């Protein structure tokens, strides 16, 4: 079942990756204008929907089920429900992708109301979300039952972190679900000819920020629970880890209005309030960076590294987990620096809706996050298949090419954004002197894209070789152990009641008024614009 989740996730990824490369090629000076931009938007919708919804959701689900079994050391409760959730995701994906492929729903993954596409696209997305909610519920139930059966014992940290991610997703997906169920789907079914696009954007922002942290969760969990073990070290602090995930849960959610800085329908006061909490998200990130660096240092010293930097040299660099995590950290660092610019109200206005934004999230998401998805797959595969993965050299090559490709792809991509190149456009006339200077940068990005496609192929090669390898009996799976494993924890650090309460309360404070106000204001709806429909 876990393997099914991972394989479906990577199959989607494998299908959407060449689309990304094709898009970059179309936008580059290597290709003339496509006469019908519809094809571009069709492709971007398929690429974005798969990469942003289907792929990370399935990875989180599969990894979550794995953690529940491996960390709690007992079979998953609700296996049938898990299969049902999986089936919903499969059906939803197929339902959504068919209208996209037919060109009936080229609305991009952010839905972009008042554009309205074929209802099946949205229904498919809702099914994927509902499938993932089953997973959220199962994660919660499995933790609760375990606590009931093991009173007084701290919940193992991997499970604690996983449940934090699940709850974060459960609540943040509500925004987009409300938008889809009450606004977009009625319009797509023809029950309504108008839509309040401003309100829809507010709902979507509710989802849009924290979805980023949902994508990030498996990566962070891997940093904390796989990396230290894989390199022979220990997790520096269990409590610090718990605190980071709790902070993500509380403050990552109600800050989405920072995606609406340029929107007039939200008052400036709320924009400021959301910015305050946005700045706070830096806290768990810094905690994580600190804890992970400390854990890695411990490993280096245990391996005999001496001096201020000697422990770095002593690290097992040939170990794919070490390598992948280090490359991921580097990309996270660059991406984080760029994120500071997006975060600021003033600087944001210079890069708003430019290719800077796409460059930025490819570096963080496609780079730092996805490279850890590869690492997770490499680490779990022997336990999922009962066959060992031996192509270590190939793995290293794959991780390196992903890193290099991502840098070559995204650095020029950021740069053309600063020059003002708009995102989500299929046409660029490089013979126009205004943008002629951007031609070389985009060509560079195409080269990066090609490297990434090769790297993606290597990834599948490694996994395929694993499936072909002879059966072995891998030792029981282990997660990292903390330097001081907790014996007893304060109740607050062993459950989520308090934190969920705070998360919901903050959401009400930060979103309640803007939503109520837009709902109560008459005349905010605009006519829908149906895409792909005959007029």
Partner 1 sequence: MNREWAAILRSKWFPASVGITAALAIAGLLVGFVVLPLADRNEQFHSVWDAICSAAGLIQNAAREPVVQANYPTTRVELTPRMLRGASAESIGRGATLALRCTMCHGARGLSEANTPNLAGQYAVVIYKQLMDFKTGARVSAVMAPLVGDLSDQDMRDLAAYYAYLPRVPASRPAGEPPQIVASGAPLRSIAPCGACHGELASKPGAAWLEGQPFDYLRTQLQDFASGARRNDIGEQMRNVARGMTVAEIDAASRFYAGLRGPTGSQADASSKQH
In the complex, the residues that contact partner 1 under the rule CB under 8 A are: 33, 35, 37, 144, 250, 265-273, 276-277, 280, 425, 427-429, 432, 434-435, 490-495, 497-499, 502, 505-506, 509, 513-514, 517, 535
Other C-beta atoms within 10 Å of 3: how many?
A: 15
Other C-beta atoms within 10 Å of 41: how many?
A: 24
The distance of closest approach from Cβ of residue 3 to partner 1 in the complex, given in angstroms and rounded to an integer, is 34
216-228: string of b/e by CB count within 10 Å (b at 16+)?
A: bbbbbbbbbbbbb
Which position has the token pair 């998360």? 503
Three-state secondary structure call for residue 474: coil
Interface mask (CB under 6 A) for ligand HEM, residues 79-108, using x and -?
-----------------------------x
51 binds ligand HEM, rule: CB under 6 A: yes
209 is catalytic: yes
457 binds ligand HEM, rule: CB under 6 A: no
144/385 with CB nearer partner 1: 144
HSE of 88, CA atoms in CB hemisphere, 13 A: 20
442 binds ligand HEM, rule: CB under 6 A: no
209/229 with CB nearer Cu ion: 209
Which position has the token pair 């391996």? 303
Judged by CB under 6 A, the chain residues 19 through 48 that form the site for ligand HEM are: 20-21, 23-24, 44, 47-48
209/234 with CB nearer Cu ion: 209
Partner interacting with residue 109 (select from Cu ion, ligand HEM, partner 1, none; CB below 5-8 Å by kind): ligand HEM
Contact status, residue 99 vs residue 173, Cβ threshold 8 Å: no
213 is catalytic: yes
Number of residues in contact with Cu ion under rule CB under 5 A:
1
414 is catalytic: no
209 binds Cu ion, rule: CB under 5 A: yes
80/487 with CB nearer partner 1: 487
The distance of closest approach from Cβ of residue 456 to ligand HEM in the complex, given in angstroms and rounded to an integer, is 7
**Largest Cα span, the chain:** 73
144/443 with CB nearer partner 1: 144
Candidates 209, 229, 234, 259; catalytic one: 209
Residue 31 neighbours by CB under 8 Å, 6+ apart: 25
Contact status, residue 482 vs residue 238, Cβ threshold 8 Å: yes
421 binds ligand HEM, rule: CB under 6 A: no
Residue 238 neighbours by CB under 8 Å, 6+ apart: 157, 482, 484, 485, 486
What is the DSSP secondary-structure string of 100-111?
HHTTS--S-TT-
Three-state secondary structure call for residue 527: strand
Contact status, residue 457 vs residue 204, Cβ threshold 8 Å: no
Interaction site with ligand HEM (CB under 6 A): 17, 20-21, 23-24, 44, 47-48, 51-52, 55, 108-110, 358, 362, 365-366, 370, 409, 423-424, 449, 452-453
Active site residues: 209, 213, 360-362, 423-424
């Amino acid at each position: 079942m876990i393997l099914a989740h991972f394989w479906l996730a990577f199959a989607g990824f494998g299908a959407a990756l060449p689309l990304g490369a094709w898009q970059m090629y179309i936008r580059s000076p290597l290709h003339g204008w496509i006469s019908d931009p519809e094809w571009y938007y069709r492709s971007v919708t398929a690429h974005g929907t798969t990469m942003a919804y289907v792929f990370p959701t399935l990875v989180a689900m599969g990894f979550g089920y794995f953690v529940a079994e491996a960390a709690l050391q007992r079979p998953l409760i609700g296996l049938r429900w898990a299969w049902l959730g999986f089936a919903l995701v499969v059906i939803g994906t197929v339902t959504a992708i068919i209208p996209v492929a037919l060109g009936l729903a080229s609305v991009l993954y952010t839905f972009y109301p008042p554009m309205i596409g074929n209802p099946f696209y949205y229904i498919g997305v809702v099914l994927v979300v509902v499938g993932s909610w089953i997973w959220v519920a199962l994660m919660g139930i499995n933790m609760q039952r375990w606590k009931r059966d093991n009173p007084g014992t701290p919940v193992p940290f991997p499970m604690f972190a996983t449940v934090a991610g699940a709850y974060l997703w459960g609540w943040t997906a509500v925004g987009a679900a409300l938008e889809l169920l009450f606004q977009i789907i009625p319009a797509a079914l023809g029950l309504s000819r108008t839509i309040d696009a401003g309100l829809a954007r507010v709902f979507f922002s509710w989802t849009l920020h924290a979805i980023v942290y949902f994508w990030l969760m498996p990566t962070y969990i891997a940093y904390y629970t796989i990396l230290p073990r894989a390199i022979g070290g220990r997790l520096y602090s269990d409590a610090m880890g718990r605190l980071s995930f709790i902070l993500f849960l509380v403050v990552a959610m109600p800050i989405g209005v920072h995606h609406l800085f340029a929107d007039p329908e939200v008052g400036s006061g709320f924009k400021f309030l959301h910015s305050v909490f946005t700045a706070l998200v830096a806290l768990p990130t810094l905690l994580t960076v600190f804890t992970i660096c400390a854990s890695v240092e411990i490993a280096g010293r245990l391996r005999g590294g001496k001096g201020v930097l000697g422990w770095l040299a002593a690290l097992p660099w040939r170990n794919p987990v070490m390598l992948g995590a280090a490359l991921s950290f580097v990309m996270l660092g660059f991406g984080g620096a760029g994120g500071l610019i997006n975060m600021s109200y003033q600087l944001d206005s210079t890069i708003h809706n430019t290719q800077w934004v796409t460059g930025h999230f490819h570096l963080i998401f496609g780079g730092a996050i996805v490279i850890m998805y590869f690492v997770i797959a490499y680490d779990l595969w022997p336990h999922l298949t009962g066959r060992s993965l031996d192509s270590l050299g190939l793995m290293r090559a794959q991780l390196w090419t992903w890193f290099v490709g991502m840098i070559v792809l995204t650095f020029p991509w950021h740069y053309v954004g600063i020059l003002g190149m708009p995102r989500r456009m299929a046409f660029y006339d490089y013979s126009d002197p205004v943008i002629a200077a951007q031609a070389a940068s985009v060509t560079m990005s195409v080269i990066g894209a090609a490297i990434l496609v090769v790297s993606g192929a290597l990834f599948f090669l490694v996994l395929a070789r694993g499936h072909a390898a002879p059966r072995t009996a891998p030792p029981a799976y282990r997660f990292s152990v903390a330097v001081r494993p907790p014996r007893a924890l304060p109740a607050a650090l062993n459950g989520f009641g308090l934190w969920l309460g705070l998360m919901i309360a903050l959401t009400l404070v930060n979103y309640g008024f803007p939503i109520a106000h837009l709902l109560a204001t008459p005349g905010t709806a605009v006519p829908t614009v149906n895409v792909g429909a005959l007029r």
